[in-house]
Amino acid sequence: MYVSIAAGVIIFLLVIDKLKNIIDLFVNLSNRAGANTQFISLLIKITGIAIITEFAVSICKDSGESAIASKIDLGGKILIIGTSIPIITALLETLITILP
């Protein structure tokens, strides 16, 4: 289990520069497009929640704790839904203004 955690942390540290470049690209594109940067920030947070949740679920499954893994998975999904509420609200408001 410790080897799995250490390997995951090392891999994450190796790809963090690439991840920073991807985030900067999204921020620059949203600024040029005039998009709301709050939504880009939320999408990055949602992606981070998904990645961390998947990492934790994998560690739990590797250590034979599938019950805990399913609870972590459920908790991650709830966090993602809670974080995405402003995006869903804005989308629904846009649909309401478009529809007669």
Altogether, the residues listed in the chain come to a count of 100
Domain ranges for the chain, please list them: 2-98
Note the pLDDT of residue 49: 94
Tell me how far apart the alpha carbons of residues 16 and 8 are, in angstroms, rounded to a whole number.
12
| More confident position, 80 or 32 | 80
d(CA 48, CA 50): 5
Give percent of the chain with pLDDT exceeding 90. Answer: 41
Distance CA(99)–CA(96), nearest Å, equals: 5
Could you read off the pLDDT of 69-86 as tens digits, one per residue? 999 999 999 999 999 999
Q: pLDDT tens digit string along 47-74?
A: 999 999 998 999 899 889 999 999 999 9
